[in-house]
Structures are given as C-alpha cells and as structure tokens.
Structure 1
Amino acid sequence: MKRDEAGVAPDPVDARLGARLAELRAEHGWSLGELAERSGISRSTLSRAERAEISPTAALLNRLCAVYGRTMSQLLSEVEAEPAPVVRAADQQVWEDPASGFVRRSVSPPHGGLRGELVEGRLTAGADIAYDRPPVPGLEQHIWVREGALVVTAQDTDHRLAAGDCLRLRVWGPTRFSCPGPEDARYVLAVVRP
C-alpha cells in the first residue's frame, strides 16, 4: 500500500476517491493544467488529491463535481462497491471535511442512474462553507433542519432556518451554508438533478 512522506497509508476512501478523480480526468482527456484552468484549483493540489496525499475539502470536491457535471453524492458513490437497494445505517458512507467542520452522510443507496438522493449534513457551531458554483446548474435542493440553526445563502438572500424548517431552492450560482450556533446544525438535504 502506498504511504505518504510520514509513512502513513492514505485513508481508503481518499485513495479510491483519488483514483476516481484521476480516471475522470483521463476520460475527458485533460491534462492537470487543463483541469486546473477549468476548476480554478492549482495543478499541485489536483495532483496531490489524485495521489491521495491530501483529503479533498468539500469546496474542492464541489468545484470538481461542477467541472465533471456530477453531484458530490454521485462522485462519492462511484468510489463505493456495487450499489445495493438498501444501505443499512452502519454502512452509509460518511465523509468529513475537518477544515470546515462539515460531516456528510450519504443516506440514499448509491445509484448513478437515479436523479434524487438524500444526504444528512452536520455543521459544527461557527462553521461556514462557501460553494462558488453548483455541481450541476439548476440542481434542486430541499434542506430540512432537524437540529440547531442553519443559514443558507443563495442568490444573495439569507435563509435563516431553525429546527423543523425546510427550504426548497434551485441552485444556479454560489451558495453558502453556515451554522450560527450555539449548537451544531443537523439537516437532511434532498437533492434532485434536473
């Protein structure tokens, strides 16, 4: 197994994700430089992510998903085994972005051919994640807050959501998710591709 400079083996999910990112770039016939221009991510960061030397952040994955026309759930499901119709709670893929305090659980059984999916998100108090573009323009999102408070900014409008509130929107441009606290926010995100 490949190890980093400190002799530590990369996280298995990061290794599969890096390999899939490299495959996607090859499928499109792009060099690292071309992908860097399309995504706005440096060549060195792209190279390190493909080699699983770094764990990609939510913002970085969002930019790559936008370039490849995939949702984050689609991309993450592509690094999993053959999709099943049922995914038990213990087997649902959890991905964490320690830099932003974001934890993402893929609730729906992964399947690339379906348009809808459910995701559970958790943001730590004070966390703030900005996405510069949607992974797929016109993506429909339903955001249902289960615990805490969440502020979702889309089209220059702040939507302040409390436990039980649900926001529906189509995403065409930048969005921001922030948790004002004092407690963490837990929410369900239903995503429907156009």
Structure 2
Amino acid sequence: MWDSVPHVKRDDVIAPAPPSTGLDVRLGARLAELRAEQGWSLGELAERSGLSKSTLSRAERAETSPTAALLNRLCGVYGRTMSQLLSEVEAEPAPVLRAAEQRVWEDRVSGFVRRSVSPPHDGLRGELVEGRLAEGADISYDRPPVPGLEQHLWVLDGTLAVTAEGTEHLLDTGDCLRLRVWGPTRFRCAGPRETRYVLAVVRP
C-alpha cells in the first residue's frame, strides 16, 4: 500500500490534499474551539504557529487532512501532546483500550502512521505510541509539542534514523533511544522496508 505514498518531507500541506475523514472533521472543529477559547484570530494563530492563515482555516474547516508536522506545531501553541489533542475528539476513555479501538492516524503525504496505544487520560503524563514509517519516509518537526518532552524510542522492525540536538542516531531492530526534546527532531526510515517502532512519551 505504500508504493503510492510520496516520499517527501513536508512542513505544511496546502495542496494537493487527500479527502477528509470523520476524524478530520472532529479534529478541525476542536482546533477551531481551542482558538476561540484563546480569543485569537486566524492571523494571531498564524503568527504564533508560523503557519499561514489559509492553511489554518482549511484545517479547521476539514478541507484538508493535516500533516503530523502541522499538528505538532498547533499542539505546541496550545500546550498539548498529539495524543491529548486526538483524545479530545473521541469519547470518554476507559482504563483498557482494546487493539481494535486504538486510534490510528495517518499522514498520507509523508507515509507516517501513528497508533495511540495507551488509553487516553488528561491527568497522566506518560503514553505509548506505535509509529510506522514507509520506505523512504522522512519527517521533521521544528519543535516539540511540549518543551522538555521525554521520549523513549524502541525500534520493533526495520531501521530508523532519529536526529535530535544536531546528532543523528541510527537505530536497528531492538535498539532503544532515550532523549529529552527541546528543539527540532527528524525521523527517517533508513532501511529498504517499512520501519515500525514504539514511542514512550512522558510529559515534564
């Protein structure tokens, strides 16, 4: 299924865009609510996030499926992790989250699939995420959603190159990287096949 995914590194997607899903609609509505709660105009949010007003407007109206990098920037502005944001558009969480009920979100432009493994809970700091990167996928984030975020990255299959603090770490199957994120990061599938990994995230 990955053969049709463009192998590009994108910071923001305006066009072309894949069709919106039901999650995109709920997510867009929540983003609009968060901006309204802050009393910000689209222009003010654009200045804070570094994203264009047209892109923000299209994301809020679910006219485009947002990329991971775009959501990461907005999470940073609103002081949330991505799992927190996604949990806010779902039903009240239970202590056990069955595999079939775990939220799966796909950045179809960059070839990144994110599964929220942990049952969402606003009062707890840690969470588990499964990530999959298609062959050739390359994603960069210009900042963490929460400064000082602690991450433990364990590669389950494939080869993953992670760049943080200007240093690239090449991880093979079974390798684990622990880091605290303050600045830009980059995740790159460095092998000839899809890379699958577990990411443990702990908010400071």
TM-score (norm 2): 0.90
Find runs of 4+ consecutive structure 1 residues off by over 4 angstroms. Answer: none
1:50 to 56, 60, 74: 60
Match of 2:114 among 87, 99, 104: 104
One of 169, 192, 199 as aligned partner of 1:182: 192
Residue aligning to 1:113: 123
Stretches of structure 2 that go unaligned for 5 or more consecutive residues are 1-18
Deviation at 1:10, TM superposition (A): 3.9
Partner of 1:138: 148
Identity of aligned residues (%): 81
Structure with bigger RCO (C-alpha 8 Å, 6+ apart): 2
2:78 pairs, out of 50, 54, 68, with 68
When normalised by structure 1's length, the TM-score is 0.95
How far did 1:181 drift? 1.8
2:8 is matched with which residue?
A: none
Q: CA RMSD in A?
A: 1.1
Q: Matched residue pairs, number?
A: 187
Following superposition, the deviation at residue 125 of structure 1 comes to 1.0
Deviations 1:10-37 (A, max 9, x none): 4110011001000100111100000000
**Structure 1 residues 175, 89: closer, same or farther in 2, change over 3 A?**
same
CA distance in 2, matches of 1:84, 1:15: 23
2:182 to 138, 161, 172: 172
Q: Does 1:86 align with 2:96?
A: yes
The aligned residue for residue 156 of structure 1 is 166
1:34 maps to a residue whose letter is E
Q: CA deviation at 1:172?
A: 0.2
Q: Tell me the amino acid that sits aligned with residue 40 of structure 1.
A: G
Q: Secondary structure at the match of 1:117?
A: strand
Q: Secondary structure in 2 aligned to 1:73? A: helix
Look up the SS of the partner of 1:103 in the other structure: strand
In 2, distance between residues paired with 1:20 and 1:44? 17
Gaps of 5+ in 1: 1-8
Deviations 1:95-114 (A, max 9, x none): 00011100000000011111
Alpha-carbon separation, structure 2, partners of 1:14 and 1:149:
30
| SS in structure 1 of the partner of residue 156 of structure 2 | strand
Q: Is residue 49 of structure 2 the alignment partner of residue 39 of structure 1?
A: yes
Any idea what the Cα deviations from partners look like across 1:61-109, whole Å, max 9, x if unmatched?
0000011111111111111101111110001000000111000000000
